[in-house]
Amino acid sequence: MAGVLVYIEQVGGDVAAVSRELMGKGQELAASLGGPLNALVVGGDVAGLANQAVALGAATVYTVSDASLATYTTDGHVAAAIAAVGAAQPALMLASASFQMRDFGAALAADLDAGLAVDVTDLKVDGGAVSAVRPSHGGNVINTYSFAAGRPVVALVRKQSFAEAAGGASGGTVTSLPLPATTMRTQVNNVAPKTGAVNLTDAAIIVSGGRGLSDKDNYYKLIPPLAEALGGAYGASRAIVDAGWVPYEHQVGQTGKTVSPKLYVAAGVSGAIQHLAGMRTSRNIVAINKDPEAPMFRVATFGLVGDVNEVLPLLTAELRQRLGR
């Protein structure tokens, strides 16, 4: 076992940002492990992605390509990954912690009898051994995992945890692996985009509202326009999701999404422990609340004590003007 194998995810034919992040961190980890950084591309049409993975620094890009792999299935994609693990013999396999990759990574780790860490925020190599940091208990506990020697490690990494690979590398090669024989126990009948779907976990800027917005109309009057002025997405506390103001997909927190954006604006959100669980690792937090004692101020980079009805329209107008939007 040596080196690192990164599972490449794609968005619209390009390597996903999170996979570029994993290639960036993977380079460093592979060097510490004294092995190569390799990548794996699985899908219907893999050539473009494979070339991009070479540019991101992969020594070898393993590809498994077949029409049956164009849509994700656990059986198909895990079988492809096991073939690549057999060829690359990595000490560490990296993928993102998206829902699909959790479906994949946990199944893969079970099949390989590997060590598994999910929702990893940091990785280290010490004396040839990998360790992974992951929060649990709604971010109240930070765990460091060590792994049994002689077994590979599968780490599913939270988005925006690492800097992206620079790109522009060359010299790597592409190795195509044959399609492994697999029993397919599922069949995908349809894949439909969620209407009005926001991928909060991808957003660099998120503006969230809570019960301080008073009602649904006021939420839509104040929060999405501010998010738009910042070029971000909008989120919500569970209180207002449960009240039916905003769809569940927008919920941030322990039972909603876990996000780590560059900027998280919380307006009229108190900062309950379960909400903080979903956003406390954001790089910058702005809290806007009329109660100076609101717990959100304790995690805020910048706090503004004020009434959302007064502050948010001013802030949206100011940003539109200064950012030219």
Partner 1 sequence: MHIVVCMKQVPRDNSVKINSDLSINADGIEKIINLFDEYAIEEGLAWNEKHGGKLTVLSMGIDEWVEQMRRALAMGATDSLLLKDASFANLDTLAAAKVVAAAIKKLGDVDLVFCGRNSTDDESGAFAPALARALGWAQLTYVGKVLEVDPAGKKVTAERHLETVIETVTASLPAVVSVIKDINSPRYPSLLKIKKVAKIQPPVWTAADLGVSGLSAAATISSRVPPPPRPSGEIIDGPDAAAKVRKLVDKLLENQII
Binding residues for ligand FAD, rule: CB under 6 A, are 210-212, 237-240, 251-256, 268-270, 272, 274-275, 278, 289-291, 294, 307-309
Contact by Cβ (8 Å): 254, 277: yes
Minimum separation from the CB atom of position 308 to partner 1 (A):
10
Q: Is 255 annotated as a binding residue?
A: yes
Residue 111 binding: pick among partner 1, ligand FAD, none (C-beta 5-8 Å cut-off by kind):
partner 1
- As given in the structure block, the two tokens for residue 272 are 């309950």
Q: Is 189 annotated as a binding residue?
A: no
Residue 217 binding: pick among partner 1, ligand FAD, none (C-beta 5-8 Å cut-off by kind):
none
Residue 68 binding: pick among ligand FAD, partner 1, none (C-beta 5-8 Å cut-off by kind):
none
In terms of CB distance, is 3 or 256 closer to ligand FAD?
256
Minimum separation from the CB atom of position 243 to ligand FAD (A):
9
Q: Is 268 annotated as a binding residue?
A: yes
In terms of CB distance, is 2 or 243 closer to ligand FAD?
243
The residues, any chain, with a CB within 8 Å of residue 325's CB and separated by 6 or more, are: 228, 229, 231, 319
Q: b/e for 184-206, b at 16 or more Cβ within 10 A?
A: eeeeeeeeeeeeeebebbbbebb
> Phi and psi dihedrals of 313, rounded to 5?
-60, -40
Q: What is the SS3 assignment for 303?
A: strand
Q: Is 271 annotated as a binding residue?
A: yes
Residue 82 binding: pick among ligand FAD, partner 1, none (C-beta 5-8 Å cut-off by kind):
none
Q: Is 91 annotated as a binding residue?
A: no
Half-sphere exposure of 320 (CA within 13 A, CB side): 10
In terms of CB distance, is 90 or 212 closer to ligand FAD?
212
Minimum separation from the CB atom of position 163 to partner 1 (A):
15
User: H or E segment at 227?
Assistant: helix 216-230
In terms of CB distance, is 154 or 236 closer to ligand FAD?
236
Q: Rounded to an integer, what distance in angstroms lies between the CA atom of residue 28 and that of residue 165?
A: 10
Q: Is 17 annotated as a binding residue?
A: no
The residues, any chain, with a CB within 8 Å of residue 302's CB and separated by 6 or more, are: 284, 285, 286, 287
Q: Is 273 annotated as a binding residue?
A: yes
Q: At what angle do helices 216-230 and 308-323 cross, to 10 degrees?
A: 20
Residue 239 binding: pick among partner 1, ligand FAD, none (C-beta 5-8 Å cut-off by kind):
ligand FAD
Query: Which segments are annotated as binding site?
Result: 211, 237-238, 251-255, 268-275, 289
Query: Which segments are annotated as binding site for FAD?
Result: 211, 237-238, 251-255, 268-275, 289
